[in-house]
Amino acid sequence: MTSIAVIFGASGGIGSAMRDHLEAGSGYDKVIALHRTSSPPLDLLDERMIQACADWIREKEGDVRLLFDATGALTLGSARPEKSLRELDPEVLARSYAINAIGPALLMKHFLPLLPKEGRSVFATLSARVGSIGDNGLGGWFAYRAAKAGLNQLVRTASIELARKNPAAICVALHPGTVKTPLTENFAKTGLDVQEPAVAAERLVNVLTSLTPADTGGFFDQNGRPIPW
């Protein structure tokens, strides 16, 4: 049976690198790249478009064995990550949650049912270390931190439901590390291990390959190490 990998946000830095890496040969017969200008198009803020993409893939011949979500946004228009409570804006908070948590949740709602009922399959979404409550020692970045923390809880909860239907399925959140993309170019600090997208993709694929059903519902970094909630 043909094995299918689906990448959401495949026009971005990490998403396009993941597409290239998987197409070069990682065990999948078909790689489907979805983004705002793909055909069909995918917009995280439009559930009807998400459902239409899922319905389109449902008609494909083969088993969907990988769903990889590379969507997300740190800056929203002119709004920069907050440095203090004084800068909180309810509209920015809501929009960050819509993009970084609700959008991926809707992907899980419509695409997890496409995973086979038997055999190994994986849903992975890009979270961020700053979404870890236990690892937060600096403060700031309220909207992005809160949205990614919300995403982590959504992943954990979805993983429990998914395991009831297929004990071999895996649903996880991944921190890709600091990757040289437009999302991070103004925020990478000196001394950080800033990776090229191709390197990040290779590391993430290695993590995906190493995951077992015992890891479902977890939160891991680009080297496969667990991150505290």
Mean pLDDT value across residues 55-82:
94
Q: Which of 108-117, 190-199, 203-212 has the lowest mean pLDDT?
A: 190-199
Mean pLDDT value across residues 11-33:
94
- Judge whether 229 lies within some domain: no
Q: Which of residues 139 and 193 earns the better pLDDT score?
A: 139
- Judge whether 210 lies within some domain: yes
Measured distance CA(193)–CA(209) in Å, rounded: 23
Q: And the tokens for 19?
A: 């597409």
- Judge whether 105 lies within some domain: yes
Q: And the tokens for 100?
A: 């970084």
Other C-beta atoms closer than 10 Å to the C-beta of 59 total 6
Are the beta carbons of 145 and 81 closer than 8 angstroms?
no
Average pLDDT, the chain: 94
- Judge whether 226 lies within some domain: no
- 30-34 vs 178-179, strand pairing mode: unpaired
Q: Which domain holds residue 156?
A: 3-220
- Judge whether 74 lies within some domain: yes
- Percent of the chain at pLDDT > 70 equals 95
**Residue in this structure with the two tokens 């982590």, named with its chain if needed:** 152
- Judge whether 60 lies within some domain: yes
DSSP string of 51-116, one letter each residue:
HHHHHHHHTSSSEEEEEEE----S-BTTBPPPSSGGG--HHHHHHHHIIIIIHHHHHHHHHGGGS-
Which strands form 169-174's sheet, in the order they lie side by side?
30-34, 3-8, 63-69, 121-126, 169-174, 219-220
pTM across the whole model = 0.93
Cβ neighbours of residue 8 closer than 8 Å, sequence gap 6 or more? 15, 34, 35, 42, 67, 68, 69, 70, 71, 107
- Judge whether 125 lies within some domain: yes
Predicted local confidence at residue 158, as pLDDT: 98
CATH of the domain at 50: 3.40.50.720
- Judge whether 169 lies within some domain: yes
**Residue in this structure with the two tokens 């228009």, named with its chain if needed:** 77
